[in-house]
Amino acid sequence: MISRSETTLRLARREDAAAIARIYNQGIEERQATFETEPRSAAQIEHLLDERGERYPTVVVEHDGQVVAWAGVSAYRTRPCYAGVGEFSVYVDRAARGSGMGRLALEGLIAACEQRGFWKLVSRVFPENTASRALCQRAGFREVGVYRRHGKLDGQWRDCVIVERLIGEAAAP
Ligand SMILES: CC(C)(COP(=O)(O)OP(=O)(O)OC[C@H]1O[C@@H](n2cnc3c(N)ncnc32)[C@H](O)[C@@H]1OP(=O)(O)O)[C@@H](O)C(=O)NCCC(=O)NCCS
């Protein structure tokens, strides 16, 4: 049998919105990744991509012509002193998890953020999200600490592990 596979990383385009929404909605449905509970539509993701524009990149990983993973960054705070701090998210299609796609997407996002002058990426991860914590650790993130009872998901308190990685100028020795 001949198998052909090609994996590419690139900046997201508006046409990727449906695939990004589909993958994000899997994570929302599983209740292990985010406090969000409402599925997103392609139109909402298109709007988000437009809003984030060139400053706050989203990258996608395509495998055999299908978008299988995405990672994106949003503003951490509006205060100018935090202009170079971004909050990231990373989501991989259920069928493609555990095959390096998350790491590729996150490393691609880090590179895109470094090009734009960001100096730090942060996120919050549920303590039970073993895959996300492993990915973050492999991608050079440090666990800063745990926010206790940071929010409720389906009526239950959830803690969050804060992760950070210095990038660009701030990562220089
Ligand atoms: C978390 C997630 C993005 C990880 O992406 P992935 O493509 O499955 O992970 P990768 O295959 O790139 O693995 C990255 C590293 O984490 C490790 N890892 C991945 N899944 C793991 C698991 N379930 N348990 C332990 N380690 C795991 C891998 O071994 C790999 O380490 P290595 O590079 O030393 O081999 C993915 O599982 C996902 O989309 N989950 C649902 C959404 C989510 O939780 N997003 C994060 C929100 S904070």
Residue 142 in any domain: the answer is yes
The residue whose C-alpha atom lies closest to atom 19 belonging to ligand 1 is 131
As for how many domains the chain has, the answer is: 1
Question: Would you state the torsion angle of the CA atoms of residues 90, 94, 100, 103, taken in this order, to the nearest 10 degrees?
Answer: 10
Each residue's pLDDT tens digit, 79-129 = 999 999 999 999 999 999 999 999 999 999 999 999 999 999 999 999 999
Handedness of CA 7, 12, 16, 22 (dihedral sign): positive
Within a domain: 2: no
User: What domain range is 55 assigned to?
Assistant: 7-171
Query: Does some domain include residue 51?
Result: yes
Q: Which atom of ligand 1 is nearest to the CA of 99?
A: 11
pLDDT in tens, 15-27: 999 999 999 999 9
119 C-alpha to ligand 1 centroid (Å): 24
Contact 59, 108 (CB under 8 A): yes
Instruction: For residue 74, give the CATH number of its domain.
Output: 3.40.630.30
Q: Is the pTM of this model over 0.85?
A: yes
In a domain? residue 81 = yes
**Whether residue 27 has its Cβ less than 6 Å from ligand 1:** yes
- Measured from the Cα of 134, ligand 1's closest atom is 16
- Is the CB of 90 inside a 6 Å radius of any atom of ligand 1? yes
Residue 1 inside a domain? The answer is no
pLDDT at residue 89 in the model: 98
Does the residue 20 lie in any domain?
A: yes
Ligand 1: residue whose CA is nearest its atom 43: 33
In a domain, 92, yes or no: yes
